[in-house]
Chains A and B, each alone.
Chain A
Amino acid sequence: MEHIVIIGNGISGVTVARHIRKLSDKRITIVSAETEHFFSRTALMYIYMGHMKYEHTKPYEDYFWKKNRIELKKGYVKTVETTSKTLHFEGGDTLQYDKLVIATGSKPNKFGWPGQDLEGVQGLYSKQDLDTLERNAPNNKICNRAVIVGGGLIGIELAEMLNSRNIPVTFLVRENSFWNGVLPEGESAMINRHIKNHHIDLRLGVNLKEIKADENGRAKSIVITETNEEIDCNVVGLTAGVSPNINFIKDSEIETNRGVLVNRHLETNIKDVYAIGDCAEQRDGGIGQRRPIEAVWYTGRMMGETLAQTICGNKLEYKPGHWFNSAKFLDIEYQTYGWVFAKPRENEAHFHWKHEDDTKCITVCYDTTNNKFLGINTFGIRMRHDVFDRWLTEERDVDYVMQHLPEANFDPEFYKHFEKDILSAYNNNLQTA
């Protein structure tokens, strides 16, 4: 029986395993050094905040794996030998595979800052990182202040987490507005204000110069490059993005760049070796407007769904549909469908509407040559995925979308609706433009 070995039990690895099982009787082994069972990485923050316990983050009960004949091996793969199709573990044992799926995800970026490896300095990606944070910052007596370096999705989650335990947070963001490489100006500015409303000390346009140690080798303060200001702290969170977690295959035959290089079929240069999820890098550049490395939950899942077909004999290209994503910035939910870039590209324009309470806004992007609707960012108003997916496929124009916006509303019943305000703002905007 063909043995499929998957390294990594995150959403990508687990999705491919589940779908291979649905399609076939192959022997499946998932290898992980992180945890015994699959958990939802996106839920790590809620464990620290006390909303849930670790066991609640496991999407499948522990009996699921045995019942579905998915073997789990806890261990850290040190090297991959592709000629003999063997995995070598840190403990010295080995595992043979017929087909190998690399789904090892990401690791936090470190940019060579002085002091970046001190005690008390950490990223937030793995279960181990969470355990470390629990030791470093159990409460505001042991951790008087934390400094977070890097204004992205993980940074703001970490800020929310520490805030939930009343630990004062200084949040260093290199850009002059939060996440403005992705979010248009109006949205980014609204989130800046929301962060400050939560009493988080947000510092925009600043860089980390160094992290200073106390006599025990623990982080005791950080210094800001621009101002030379020194800020005392007990914990430094490094959240300046992530990169593929692939050190263990650097010495193998498998070709890598920043990530494991794959073609559109998610195949690496070595036969029977595949890579999916955060650690995979599209060899020919990103698909459509996508980036070559997509470190997103949904894309990991979709790669898993696709690769299972290929492994089970129905060779398929990875052809994701319309882009979508979501996040939550403290109390403000964010969803995006289609493409809305931080600044309109050539022949693109944005329509922006913001509610006066400063917690809701939308940005709609459209093509100025033919009025085609290209995408929407929505903050504080939930919208329907299937409706926007359909409108994008049907290539609706922006007027149609604005007029039919109520159809896409997904807020709970009895919520106040804003589509009329949005539409009249849109119409006014057109007249003045």
Chain B
Amino acid sequence: MSNKINHSMSLATPDAQDISTKQKVALATGLIGLLILVLAFFNVDLPNRALFLALSLGLITIGTVIYSRDAYLTKLEGIKNDGVWFKSISSRGALGWALGIILTAFYVILYFYPQYLGLGKDGAANTGLISLFDPLSNLLSGRNASQWFVYGTLYTVAIIAFGYKFILKYRHNRYQQLRTISVMFFQLGFAYLIPEFMYVMNSDLPYYDLKSVWPLNYYIFDEWSVNGFLSNGNIGLALILFGIISIFVITPILTYKYGKRWYCSWVCGCGGLAETAGDSFRQLSSKKMSAWKLERWLIHTVLVFSVVMTTAMVYTYLGYDSNNFWLTRGVFIALVIGFLTLVFAAVLYFRGKELGKDAKMGAIGYFVVIALLLAMHFTGTTDNVFFVQGSALRSAYGIYIGSIFSGVIGTGFYPILGSRSWCRFGCPMAAILGFQQRLFSKFRITTNGGQCISCGNCSNSCEMGIDVRAYAQKGENIVRSSCVGCGVCSAVCPRGVLKLENDSMKGRINPTEVLLGNDVDLMELVNQK
């Protein structure tokens, strides 16, 4: 039900009356930049590719910068959400749907039909859009562009240009600014430039974005990847060890101290795009209880899938004979089962009571994984696990999870499902970090006594679909596995009720019946249970 009755029916300029002349010019500038990309896509022969590429990316960036400056710097510092639910693009209007369809189509072409982007097959020269990026790719790593280079470049430009916009939008909020600078840095450096330079130094090394941790980086333990690292001496060995340490040591420590936000809102590239280019869509995530239920099933299923898939992958290229290499199939399976059992037992021992009903679901999940692994070990032949080829399992994961879920749905559906639907429903890394955050972390969003007025700004702006208000209005701290710690709920709260912080584990979860400010006797009577 919309409360606004003067909806513009115009497809071309809905709500254009809200846009200043300067913003229109900025919009046009950015669109010309995009037009160059479209022309290249349709194989228009652009004479000087380097010039046109620079022009295109430059215009897009400059357009975004001018637009943002006019939108935010002309006003006083503060929350800038006016009209978010009136604008067609950010309220699932015609523009939103149009953008969603264009983005989705782009992802489908990118993942499944790169030839339409102009990828030269079997050493043939690139054409179309990809060839436009050849000069930049040659500059950075001395090779022609691939569809992934094009994607990476556009992705990085988006995070930087819209990151700038986000920083201006929250120019009164240093938490928002610092974490945005952080994701811009990690995207530009770790995801984009460093892998290119690593290629220049040693072209045999597999692509490795150092900040991308398994299971988000699901291909790091693939045979070609591991062989690629191991055949490159100490540097390769160091890199793969770093990959293992990342997930087993660095991640748990940082998540214990700061919550999963250290990764999801400060480092991660998926999160980086969601927080910058996706910021206009954060309010579109569903806050319904039913969406939460779906989320819990979906994300943990993906996690189970990724654990089993990775184990199966590694398993298939290990041998039986310990004389060749100490890590045989038997030892590996035993290690995996041992580790999972250790985690499961520790959780039950330390947090069993707190988990209550969820402990049963966890137990079921655990036994399913163990059963699958054992079945794999005792039924598997050299090439087959579960009677299907290990590589088939891996490619199924790659297509359905790695491409369709994270890319096509995760990003293509920004204007429909909100900016973090991949992070929320699919990312197995988020599931692991969230599990730690919920059970073993100092992080929480503190609710400020009885000050909540249930207005709903916090829930509305939660990209992860957490009904923040449901906790705040009970005076209860928010301790949820899905919270990525973006801090926007705290920023938009008109009464100063929410604060992200790391504090002791004691009293972290504090359900109350009657809120602070009431009769002391009543509070004690009702809250002691």
Contact = CB atoms under 8 A, between A and B. Distances in A.
Contact of B174 (A302, A410, A415): A415
A51 B5 contact: no
15 contacts: A48-B3, A50-B82, A50-B85, A51-B81, A134-B5, A138-B5, A302-B519, A309-B522, A309-B526, A321-B517, A321-B519, A324-B451, A382-B499, A412-B173, A414-B178
A43 B457 contact: yes
A331 B76 contact: yes
Q: Which of B178, B288, B491, B495 has the most CB of A within 10 A?
A: B495
A21 to B, nearest CB: 12
A48 B6 CA distance: 12
B5 A135 contact: yes
Q: Which of B78, B288, B455 has the most CB of A within 10 A?
A: B455
B273 to A, nearest CB: 23
Interface in B11-34: 17
Contacts of B17: 139
Contacts of B78: 330-331
Q: Which of A58, A61, A305 has the most CB of B within 10 A?
A: A305
A11 B455 CA distance: 11
B174 A414 contact: yes
A198 interface: yes
Given A40-B453, A40-B454, A389 B82 contact: no
A248 interface: no
A305 B83 contact: no
Contacts of B84: 50-51
Contacts of B318: none
Contact of B82 (A51, A305, A412): A51
A290 interface: no
A386 interface: yes
A26 B18 CA distance: 52
A138 B77 CA distance: 25
A42 B454 contact: yes
A61 B496 contact: no
Contacts of B469: 59
Contact of B519 (A198, A297, A316): A316
B153 to A, nearest CB: 31
Given A50-B87, A52-B460, A333-B495, 18 more contacts: A42-B455, A56-B459, A56-B460, A198-B76, A297-B453, A301-B515, A305-B515, A309-B522, A319-B521, A320-B517, A320-B519, A321-B518, A326-B453, A331-B77, A331-B172, A335-B496, A412-B490, A412-B499
B375 interface: no
A384 interface: yes
Q: Which of B1, B76, B86, B446 has the most CB of A within 10 A?
A: B76
A324 B450 contact: yes
Nearest to A164: B82
A414 B521 CA distance: 37
Nearest to A305: B514
Interface in B502-529: 513-523, 526
B513 A11 contact: no
A404 interface: no
Interface in A155-199: 164, 197-198
B81 A50 contact: yes
B495 A326 contact: yes
Contact of B456 (A49, A56, A134, A331): A56
A117 interface: no
A414 B4 contact: no
A22 interface: yes
Nearest to A384: B448
B136 interface: no
A85 interface: no
B83 A49 contact: yes
A331 B4 contact: no
Contacts of A328: 494-495
Contacts, number: 185
A55 interface: yes
Interface residues of A, number: 67
A382 B82 contact: no
A327 B173 CA distance: 19
A40 B455 contact: yes
Contacts of B87: 50
Interface string B56-84: 00000000000000000000111101111
A57 interface: yes
Interface in B413-471: 446, 448-451, 453-457, 459-460, 469-470
A78 interface: no
A46 interface: yes
B289 A61 contact: yes
Given A61-B288, A134-B3, A138-B4, A412 B495 contact: no
Nearest to B496: A382
B174 A324 contact: no
Interface string B478-495: 000000000100111011
A372 interface: no
Contact of A319 (B454, B459, B519): B519
A334 B178 CA distance: 25
A322 interface: yes
B500 interface: yes
A360 to B, nearest CB: 11
A320 B519 CA distance: 5
A330 B75 CA distance: 12
Contacts of B451: 298, 324, 326, 335, 385
B517 A298 contact: yes
Interface string A13-29: 00000010010000000
A393 B517 CA distance: 11
A306 interface: yes
B457 A52 contact: yes
Given A138-B5, A331-B79, A415-B174, A50 B516 contact: no
A47 interface: yes
Contacts of B470: 59
Contacts of B1: 53-55
B248 interface: no
Contacts of B76: 197-198, 330-331
Interface in B245-300: 283, 288-289
A164 B499 contact: no
Q: Which of B1, B473, B522 has the most CB of A within 10 A?
A: B522
A198 to B, nearest CB: 7
A62 B487 CA distance: 28
Contacts of A229: none
A63 B456 CA distance: 18
Contacts of A321: 516-520, 523
Interface string B217-238: 0000000000000000000000
Contacts of B518: 302, 305-306, 320-321
Q: Top 4 A-B pairs ranked by shortest CB distance? A: A385-B449, A331-B78, A382-B496, A43-B455
A54 B175 contact: no
A386 B77 CA distance: 28
A413 interface: yes
Contact of B448 (A318, A320, A382): A382
Interface string A73-85: 0000000000000
A393 B524 CA distance: 15
Contacts of B77: 331, 359
B358 interface: no
B496 A326 contact: yes
A416 interface: yes
A305 B522 contact: yes
Contact of B496 (A297, A301, A316, A410): A410
Contacts of B175: 412-415
A134 B517 contact: no
A389 B517 contact: yes
Contacts of B500: 412-413
B519 A53 contact: no
A412 B502 CA distance: 12
Nearest to A326: B495
A130 B2 CA distance: 12
Given A321-B516, A333-B496, A412-B500, A59 B473 contact: yes
